[in-house]
Amino acid sequence: MAARSISSLVSRSLPSLSRYGRGIYRYGTTSAQEPIKPPVTVEYDKLLINGQFVDAASGKTFPTLDPRSGEVIAHVAEGDTEDINRAVAAARKAFDEGPWPKMTAYERCRIMLRFADLVEKHNDEIAALETWDNGKVYEQSAHIEIPMLVRLFRYYAGWADKIHGLTIRADGPYNVQSLHEPIGVAGQIIPWNFPLVMFAWKVGPALACGNTIVLKTAEQTPLSALLVSKLFLEAGLPDGVLNVVSGFGPSAGAALCSHVDVDKLAFTGSTATGKIVLELAAKSNLKPVTLELGGKSPFIVCEDADVDKAVEVAHFALFFNQGQCCCAGSRTFVHEKVYDEFVAKAKERAMKRSVGDPFKTGMEQGPQIDAEQFNKILKYIKYGKECGATLETGGDRFGTKGYYIQPTVFSNVQDDMPIAKDEIFGPVQTVLKFKDNEEVIRRANNSPYGLAAGIFTQDLDTANTLTRALRVGTVWVNCFDTFDAAIPFGGYKMSGIGREKGEYSLKNYLQVKAVVTSLKNPAWL
């Protein structure tokens, strides 16, 4: 379902737009217009601890901002160490004494399915809040991401009563079995670029396995997780099973990572922060950690590719979600025989991209998340110009209000340029030229990251050769960003540890126990 929705977004036809001067288009609408009033209000701005929405212990709050204008949406409770302690205590009690891990797996399944039904019922409200707080296009929130959350929870609900161990033959008179047990209290930290999708990736498997959770939201996007967590309570989730703390990384995040009563950590975010999470986990109680981190994914367009289709998919691979995607195809390698044609058409496609208020119908691109990310992207665009890459289009802010950036394309990019090495996390496409498969394999793998890759070719042998040679966790062939609940996702090298989604993710939240019982005069072995 999710994969089909994303594909429909890629293939959606857009109205033609007028050109103004060399490399300049009227990008859809102007961000200088007054932002559209969102069709939703903020109802939940406190911490969720032990089934109750409560103020932070300190009484502090912090503002969450509308990326379209930089104006305050709401003031949200600012959790810190004391609040993490309260949340962990609630989760520990719910695990050790509460009904959730002792409940039949079928009943856990039913609660998760009821939750998915409630999210589906409130789809438009949740999508509007997600767009308001994050800046992503409303059509993306409503028609892709919230349905994806629903699908993921239904998928994991189905797993709840299918988790089991083995009966094992031993060399001797013993009955041996393995038990797959819930790991305990899971600490989870989600990012700001896909708040609810990441909520599902982490909360879904943890609950299916019978664990309890303390979830820290990103300080940029705290609102939607609080809303859907309220729906979980309505679905019958016992108090203390899911606790949600909004706050900042150095305070609430560090406290969660360091807490000795947390049995497992899962984090999605930057590689630099991932290293800190891993260090804090090791220094406290050696809790296991799952990390989904940064990327600089190659998108390889081979000489036999259908250039028009390759341009469209490469455009989507980079610009989707304002370029704020860890697996974005941010190094576009194009074979020298089709390079010039590809660059010309990639430029044309970027210039037609509709940019503006994400609540306006037909928009493809909204604002970046905040001023910090906005300025970082503009800094990298400046680096690209200074290093000698050719700016084909874009290269500046869009409009005068909010954190909008023009869709930007650079050609004649070299591997040693910052725009080709670093994770920009914005709408900046870099197009590099290559001669043959051996060269592009070497260059594509010459990165500290290994999250994903795209290959565009009509030749099966070429696809197989590249697929096996690329040191990445996901390879998309003639497609990109195809996410399904059952497909595992994670990275090689500094792009992370472990896998999320699919059956593989269940292992993150289970302990394996061997039970050996002596047999007296067994009839058989």
Q: Which residues contact 254 (CB under 8 A, 6 or more apart)?
A: 276, 280
* Integer Cα distance of 266 and 263 in angstroms: 11
DSSP state of 37: P
Q: What residue type is 8 in one-letter code?
A: S
312 phi, psi to nearest 5 deg: -65, -45
Alpha-carbon gap, residue 181 to 195, rounded angstroms: 28
Tell me if residue 292 is catalytic.
yes
Distance between CA atoms of residues 142 and 145, nearest Å: 6
What are the structure tokens assigned to 49, written together? 């601890």
Buried b (16+ CB within 10 A) or exposed e, 471-501: ebbbbbbebbbebbbeeebbbbbbbbbbbbb
Closest alpha carbon to 206 in 121, 110, 80, 290 = 290
Q: Tell me how far apart the alpha carbons of residues 43 and 329 are, in angstroms, rounded to a whole number.
A: 37
Measure CA 76 to chain center. 22
For 445, the enclosing helix (H) or strand (E) is: helix 437-445
Out of 292, 303, 392, 423, which one is annotated catalytic? 292
Q: CA–CA separation, 320 vs 482, rounded Å?
A: 12
Vertex 305, ends 493 and 353: CA angle to 5°? Answer: 80
Q: What residues are labeled active site?
A: 292
